[in-house]
Amino acid sequence: MSDTPQQCDRLAFQPSAQEGSDLATPPQRSRPSAGLRVVRWASGVAAVAVAAAVAALLERFLRLDDPSLVFLVAVLLTAVVGGLGPSIVAAVLGVLVWDFLFVEPQFTLTVTQPRDVLSLTVFLLVAILTSHLVSRS
């Protein structure tokens, strides 16, 4: 009886029915409670609100030209606390708040300068990519 190397490899490890049952079923994740899910999603909204307040103070007292890094910190903290979904919501909300409060003309969602369109777009891409990386770790 001659076995090829592939057949020997297949025959070398054949788990019994009990051993195979552990391998066949993936580990079950426990689903967070509804209250914890609300806290995760609310953390993104709260972080963006705090970032807007901090950016407004920095703009007023230090003449901050670009508040993007302040909002990026809010997105990354949300990714650590809440995970990927809430951090993406925080990124989109951060872009909207940044545009509404800090981009001329203020208190509108209108963007008139090409450099502002580029800044908002790059911020959104970087925020989503980095929040994905943070939430994976």
On whether residue 129 sits in a domain, the answer given is yes
On whether residue 24 sits in a domain, the answer given is no
| 74-95 pLDDT tens trace | 999 999 999 999 999 999 999 9
Domain of 112, in residue numbers: 33-136
Domain tally for the chain? 1
Round to whole Å and give the CA distance between 109 and 129: 24
Round to whole Å and give the CA distance between 28 and 111: 47
Question: Once rounded to an integer, what is the mean pLDDT over residues 115-132?
Answer: 95
pTM of the model: 0.74
| 30-63 pLDDT tens trace | 677 878 888 889 999 999 999 999 999 999 999 9
